[in-house]
Chain A
Amino acid sequence: MIDEKGAGGVAEAAPAAAMGRALLEVRGLDKHFGAVQALTGVDLDLPAGQVTGLCGDNGAGKTVLTKCIAGIHQPDGGQIYWEGRPVHIRGPRDASHLGIETVYQDLALADNLDIVQNMFLGRERIWLGLLDEDGMERAASETLARLRVTTVRSIRQPVASLSGGQRQSVAVAKAVMWNSKLVILDEPTAALGVVQTRMVLDLVKRLRDRGLAVLIISHNLNDVFEVADRIAVLYLGRMAAQDRVSAFDRQSVVELMTTGGRAA
């Protein structure tokens, strides 16, 4: 568990680790499921204060890679460095200890609970054995205000009554509330309309501006080019390319996704 004091504060920029190393570095990661080699020697850098877009066709290994970082899968080979130190992430608890939070596509919000209750689910504040509703509500509204998620009428309304973009925003706010330094977003705009997508992408930019590292998985190259500072492209379990966004254009990313760069 992360210290309760941390709750409510979006992590301030931790100065990226010593000697200009990225916040999280993946080196030579291997993962296989039985005979299926899902990842082969994958390298990935996620610097603080930058958004990295992870692209790749279906089955390229995007989800496996993020699940290795989030502690859901254990890699079979390779090493993950966190702030320059080698780490073993053995479970989602370990990941959130380090400051890694993942927002999955299905968001994992309980519709019948309100926004505050969802944001604190599993980490409720207790006062004299009872829930400290006032403290949690204050912290939740501070976090939402800081991320400028201001379209909800009341943070005491059930999540069922929110729009898709608002739900995504709540899920992200929930993730960054716990002093997290790296937020992984799995297809955050997949089910959203134009206005809602804009709302979520703006939120992603604000996370970056607050010094967090963001890894965003998306099929939508428009979204990736809009928010990403860096792009990483997976092809059949290998890292086909990884560079600043200016080194790519849409055409080259599509080619990398479909051919792994051999044609280019």
Chain B
Amino acid sequence: MTTETELDAAQPDPTEAAEAAMDVPPELVAGSLREYLRGWAARVRGGQSGVLPVIAGLAVIIVVFQVISPNHIFLSAGNIVNLFQQSAVFMVLAMAVSFALLLGEIDLSVGYVGAVGGVIAVQLVQPTTTHWPWWAAIAAALLACALIGAAQGTLITRLGLPSFIVTLAGLLVFNGVMLILLLLGPFSGYPSLAGQGTNLWVLYQLMWGTIDPILSWILMFAIVAVLGAVIAIREASRRRSGLTAPPVSLTIIKIALMAAVGITVVGICNINRANSGTIAGVPWVVPIVLGILGLWTLLLEYTRYGRYVYAIGGNPEAARRAGIDLSGIRTIAFVLCGLTAGIGGLLYASYLGGMSNNVNGGQLVLYAVAAAVIGGTSLFGGRGRMMHGVLGGIVIGGIYNGLYLLGLDVKWQFIVTGFVLIVAVTIDAVSRRGAVSFRAIRS
């Protein structure tokens, strides 16, 4: 085993080894589940808590709102699906802004860039005016958003302007552009997805469409089986060749957990949630969000491009010396940010059933950044995952949904979300300080 400690005779420094133990992800050094749990507990005590705070926060939100919501409606099938639909836009925009955050940059424009994408798609499919097919309208909207990202990214990387300022300008500009686009055509600023026609229908279904319950089960099991097989085969082969790999029991738990989540989600979604008639099945938006999550996770964690994003976020100078094209990687990150924001905008348009000047992109971006940070992504670059944005998005959606059920309006939602954000950043800062002072003592 090359991965296990093999104390060099010249290195009798047991204190260092003991301290380092806390800093090392437990799955790397644990030979058994017991060791894994012990290592994990040590890390949490040492301030390296990972996604634990957001999971714990989510649990608190669920328990509190389930207890205090009228008729304990919070955990009803209908409300859980509703909650996911409300959270979806936050999740996708949080994933968008994560590309900027991982580089240590910020994109304040994602809300209105997404809104511009949404308006473009909704306008283009209108049967009385342009009457584009739905796929062409979606492609045009996403292309526009990607180009906006490219333009902002170029200003930031080639001219060296601060991303905060460039995207703040973008927030204003694309707010205006959205208003201009809304007023095009005979819709008095309210182009809608209501009405007859496949193209309107498809855009509306992005958020509200459901997959047939039987098909939902089949797809879910297929996805869990494929992902589970990939994980099992990969980790088994790493174990065989003596590489760093988690214990077998952990692999099994991981796959079982994935299956349990899949069964729960599909099971809940397949309960009839209509007051009269039948509405059941997994909403389209679930596989859409999971697809984006899977694709961007693959890109960030398993490709050279993603590795360079983390490297630049962690130490730009090291990346530069390694021969990495910093401007290129950064510009592409802003393109991906814009593109993902566009997907978020399409989902938002679908959620609203059309677009109007009520869309508050400034607030959306703040929620998106808050979601990423609540989920555990660092504002200082180099640390975070796409999954964090999704988890943080559920937290924000949960607060929104829960307060709404209590009949408390938007002002309370702002206040509570603000406090949750402060708590999340505090956890991040405290754990970081813990880690730093830790190293300072050692060296």
Q: Which residues of A contact B (CB under 8 A)?
A: 92-93, 104, 106, 108-113, 117-118, 121-124, 126, 129-131, 134, 137-138, 141-142, 144-145, 148, 150-151, 153-158, 160-164, 191, 193, 195, 198-199, 202
Contacts and interface: CB of A to CB of B under 8 A. Distances in A.
Contact of A154 (B24, B298, B303): B24
Interface in B277-316: 298, 302-304, 307, 310-311, 313-315
Nearest to B237: A134
Contact of B7 (A92, A130, A131, A151): A151
A108 B319 CA distance: 8
A81 B215 CA distance: 70
19 contacts: A92-B321, A108-B321, A112-B314, A112-B315, A112-B382, A121-B318, A122-B324, A134-B238, A142-B2, A144-B2, A145-B2, A151-B16, A151-B17, A153-B4, A153-B29, A157-B20, A160-B439, A163-B16, A198-B10
A195 B7 contact: no
B241 interface: yes
B318 A109 contact: yes
B3 A195 contact: no
Contacts of A118: 318
A131 B302 contact: yes
Given A124-B307, A131-B303, A150-B8, A111 B29 contact: no
Q: Which of B7, B25, B244, B319 has the most CB of A within 10 A?
A: B244
A110 B25 contact: no
B310 A148 contact: no
Given A93-B323, A108-B321, 19 more contacts: A92-B321, A92-B323, A113-B310, A113-B311, A121-B311, A124-B307, A134-B237, A137-B243, A144-B2, A151-B5, A151-B17, A153-B29, A154-B24, A156-B244, A157-B25, A157-B28, A163-B443, A195-B11, A199-B10
Contacts of B439: 160-161
Name which of A112, A137, A198 has the most chain B CB atoms within 10 A of its CB. A112
A117 B307 contact: yes
B435 interface: yes
Residue from A104, A122, A126, A191 with most neighbouring chain B CB atoms (10 Å): A122
A104 B322 CA distance: 13
B244 A137 contact: yes
Given A163-B16, A164-B443, A153 B21 contact: yes
